[in-house]
Structure 1
């Protein structure tokens, strides 16, 4: 059982790192938007590269926020039913959901995302706009990168459910704390 605890805590740590990176990207995105607004309206200066950086950073926020949301139970589901279930029922639902949906979905996204990023790299794809960002493969490579961390978060859902079923953890204490601490 100790190896499950270590695996669960290690996988949880990876998801929290994803959450920290998503938070950092959100702060950078807010600073980028602030710069764009000030540059445009105060100085009549528009930077295509900075505008494109906004959606690059938003992509990082969204994609790396997924593993963190899975770890902290912040994802979407029908909580009207889920909240009233026992921890054992929640554990079974989460375990089956992770094995049947999260991990296979992450695998598919990883396989297709890798091809997507590799094609962009091989083409030397960049922005279609003058003054835009080059090397579009960099942001596209976040897709398979995130698929890996989503799969680890799915595995973390399984290990956490095993710990709940063993009586080592509960959903109310672990996930209500949430946070990036």
Structure 2
């Protein structure tokens, strides 16, 4: 069990790191969007590449952050029925859901998406829009995001099994007392403090 818990900690650290860096993509996407709007309105000029990079960044945020969201236990849950059961029963149902629904979904989507990534890479597929971008990087976000989500799903299974065995705390308990916004502000302060 110790080896599995170390694996789980490693996956958690990886997805926490990815999640922190993805928060910067939100800022980048907003800056590109604002810059594109200003150039379009002031100079009556624009590029499809600027529009497409916004879509690519949004896809990266959405697909790559799904594992981070699972790590933080932030996915939408409707526990009307499950919330009435003892915590150990809830954890067993969560393990069932992860093993029977999440992980097969990840494998299925990954199996379907890799051939499309390969085909787009080999063919050098480019957007049909004038000035459009190459497509394979955005296609690759899907299997990469699924890989991160699958790893986090396995990590969540390990943490729940360890909880049932009395070897770990409840993985669904809130780990942080701060909101995501407060954590982001703190991370920015730390980075700006270390850069000085």
Contact 2:64 2:144 in 1 (8 A): no
Looking at structure 2, the residues matched to 23 and 90 of structure 1 have their Cα atoms a distance apart, in angstroms, of 31
- The yes-or-no answer on 1:117 pairing with 2:138 is no
> In structure 2, do the counterparts of structure 1 residues 40 and 86 end up closer, same or farther at CA, with 3 Å as the change threshold?
farther
Contact 1:22 1:62 in 2 (8 A): no
Contact 1:22 1:65 in 2 (8 A): yes
Q: Which contiguous aligned blocks of 4+ residues in structure 1 show a shift greater than 6 angstroms?
A: 175-178
- The yes-or-no answer on 1:172 pairing with 2:157 is no
Contact 2:65 2:145 in 1 (8 A): no
Name the counterpart of 1:50.
50
Name the counterpart of 2:193.
none
- The yes-or-no answer on 1:27 pairing with 2:27 is yes
C-alpha displacement at 1:85, in angstroms? Answer: 4.2
Contact 1:25 1:57 in 2 (8 A): yes
C-alpha displacement at 1:33, in angstroms? Answer: 0.8
C-alpha displacement at 1:107, in angstroms? Answer: 0.6
TM-score by length of 1: 0.89
Gaps of 5+ in 2: 188-196
Name the counterpart of 1:40.
40
Count of equivalent residues: 180
> In structure 2, do the counterparts of structure 1 residues 67 and 113 end up closer, same or farther at CA, with 3 Å as the change threshold?
same
C-alpha displacement at 1:175, in angstroms? Answer: 6.8
Structure 1, 73-82 or 30-39: larger mean CA deviation: 73-82
C-alpha displacement at 1:24, in angstroms? Answer: 2.1
C-alpha displacement at 1:131, in angstroms? Answer: 1.2
Contact 2:12 2:155 in 1 (8 A): yes
Q: Secondary structure at the match of 2:65?
A: helix
Looking at structure 1, the residues matched to 130 and 101 of structure 2 have their Cα atoms a distance apart, in angstroms, of 41
Cα RMSD, aligned residues only: 2.1
